[in-house]
């Protein structure tokens, strides 16, 4: 919680916006199994950590092959814009 607030405060003070591109691996149960930062337009501000923490909380409807749930990897883009 503190890290999210710190990230938002730092960015607000600097009036930054940013985009973080992540690779998320979604398990057959729909839970996020792993998240990796691919790129960030504002490194060092804390957007990367905030994006990873947010995406880890998401739950997806599982992908299916032949009617059975399977694990998949997908690209997720998180946009930050603080005004």
Q: CA 34, CA 26: separation in Å to the nearest integer? A: 7
CB contact set of 66 (below 8 Å; sequence gap of 6+)? none
Instruction: Give pLDDT, residue 44.
Output: 85
Cα 50 to Cα 33, 35, 66, 75, 80: the distances in Å are 17, 12, 36, 16, 10
Of residues 7 and 26, the one with the higher pLDDT is 26
| pLDDT mean over 57-68 | 95
Where residue 16 falls among pLDDT bands split at 50, 70, 90?
A: confident
- Tell me what pLDDT residue 37 has: 97
pLDDT of res. 4: 63
- Asked if residue 7 has pLDDT above 90, the reply is no
Confidence band (pLDDT; 50, 70, 90) for 60? very high
């Amino acid at each position: 919680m503190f890290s999210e607030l710190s990230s938002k405060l730092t960015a607000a003070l600097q009036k930054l916006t940013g985009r973080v591109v992540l690779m998320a691996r979604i398990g057959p149960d729909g839970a996020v199994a792993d998240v990796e930062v691919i790129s960030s337009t504002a490194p060092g501000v804390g957007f990367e950590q905030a994006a990873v923490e947010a995406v880890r909380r998401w739950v997806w409807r599982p992908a299916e092959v032949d009617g059975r749930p399977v694990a998949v990897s997908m690209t997720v883009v998180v946009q930050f814009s603080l005004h």
